[in-house]
Amino acid sequence: MKKIQILLWLSVLFLCSSVWAHGKVGSVAKDENLNGVINFPDVKGRLTLISDLHTHSVFSDGHVWPNIRVAEATRNGLDVLAITEHLEYQPHIAQVPHKDRNSAFLEANNAAKGSSLIVLAGSEITRDMPPGHINAVFIKDANKLFNIDLPKNDKEKEILNKKIREMQWGAEPAIKEHYILSNMWPAEKAVEAANQQGAFLFWNHPDYYRQAPDGIARLQPMHRKMIDKGYLHGIEVVNGSTYSEEAFRIAIENNLALIGTSDVHDLIEWDYLTRAGEHRPVTLIFAKDRSKESIKEALFQRRTVIWFKEILIGKEDNLLPLLKSIISIESVGYGKGTQILTVIIKNNSSAKLQLKNQSRFTFLDNTNLIDLPGNDKIKLKIKTLKELDNLQLEFEVLNALITPGKNPRVIVSTKI
Ligand SMILES: [Zn+2]
Ligand SMILES: [Zn+2]
């Protein structure tokens, strides 16, 4: 009898702990393939930190509690996560009332305690175009980034009601009213308030079809003013499943950081079949150390590379050192009595690389196109014609971009 009682108590305790354990992340399965773990090597003198700086939870229009975002990030091997709720679009405000707009961050930060994940405080400043949507991360207080002035008289009430009637999207009138009233506070003021908090700001999905029906990202005078003032520091070249070549050009021309994010609202597993090898878009940040200050410094210095689908996107200064760390030569040796050099080339990252041979040698078992799978190695048999002391190989990386039309070239060398 006693044993049964103890078992019953234990199961009650277990149930309670799983019910009450709102904050902490649940156990994470160890199988890296099942979890879709992303890994990239550090580059010379810097850590490569993997981030998703744009996600949502039930505290705006997402559909999960913030601890699920933390659990997903941990499973995917991310180092840095920001939950960036729409301050103005609050479709769940009746069901999830929260006066403090820092709530999602506080929940996520609590859930991440005890893990190595760094959670950044952030918000999505949500306006019609221009300026569209702008994320601010490293904020100090989300409550100061939005403002609602209630209508003071019948005339103002009528203007508000007309706007609600004209609004094409949104659900209940109360949600539309909240969005319209908060949108009446100028975007410039929200952007200025975020900058006063020392935040890093980037323009989200500038090609979003609802705000750019032709899908072309274009800087408008309001964006130019923000850039000139030093108020806008990055731009999403990648958002979810979309890529904007125009945003890539805008980033290069205006020295903005290249950002790629998931902007996930549901489950990462639903949007990306991680078990089949898919992954969310991430921004790699090259930081001096794992501190928030270093991450911030790296973002302000534009030290980022995006990994999107099978493509690496980054300015040459950032992408070349990364590629040099990703590709390494593990061993070299001549076959007995031949001038054929066998080289084991290793890929130290999750990113599959498509390489095009640009050196003077040809290969025995390969054409000039070589697939280097992620976290794997390949054997290359190189016809060097005579026995060499040093080997230098040059590859064009066909699935990496340093400008919208240009692939980087990487040189790998070793003593023989
Ligand atoms: Zn948005
Ligand atoms: Zn968003």
Q: What does each of the 416 residues of the chain score in pLDDT, given as a tens digit? A: 455 565 555 444 444 443 344 444 544 445 666 679 999 999 989 999 999 999 999 999 999 999 999 999 999 999 999 999 999 999 999 999 999 999 999 999 999 999 999 999 999 999 999 999 999 999 999 999 999 999 999 999 999 899 888 887 767 888 999 999 999 999 999 999 999 999 999 999 999 998 999 999 999 999 999 999 999 999 999 999 999 999 999 999 999 999 999 999 999 999 999 989 999 999 999 999 999 999 999 999 999 999 999 999 999 999 999 999 999 999 999 999 999 999 999 999 999 999 999 999 999 999 999 999 999 999 999 999 999 999 999 999 999 999 999 999 999 999 99
List of residues 6+ apart from 135 with CB closer than 8 A? 53, 54, 82, 84, 122, 123, 124, 125, 201, 202, 204, 261
Domain with CATH 3.20.20.140 in the chain: 29-147+185-309
Greatest Cα pair distance, the chain, in angstroms, is 96
Domain with CATH 2.60.40 in the chain: 322-415
DSSP letter assigned to residue 149: -
Domain 322-415 is found in CATH 2.60.40: yes
* Kind plus residue range of the DSSP H or E element containing 163: helix 154-166
Superfamily holding 29-147+185-309: Metal-dependent hydrolases (3.20.20.140)
Query: How far is 127 from 208, CA to CA, in rounded Å?
Result: 13
CA 264 / ligand 2 centre spacing (Å)? 7
Separation of 306 CA from ligand 2 center, angstroms?
Answer: 17
C-alpha count within 13 angstroms, C-beta hemisphere, residue 179: 25
| 296 C-alpha to ligand 1 centroid (Å) | 22
* Alpha carbon of 64 to ligand 2 centroid (Å): 14
Q: How far is the CA of 283 from the centre of ligand 1 (A)?
A: 17
CA–CA dist 385, 341 (Å, integer): 9
Distance 55 CA to ligand 1 centre (A): 10
| 81 touches 73 (CB < 8 A) | yes
Neighbours of 43 (CB within 10 A): 21
DSSP 24: S
CA of 404 from ligand 1 middle (Å) equals 24
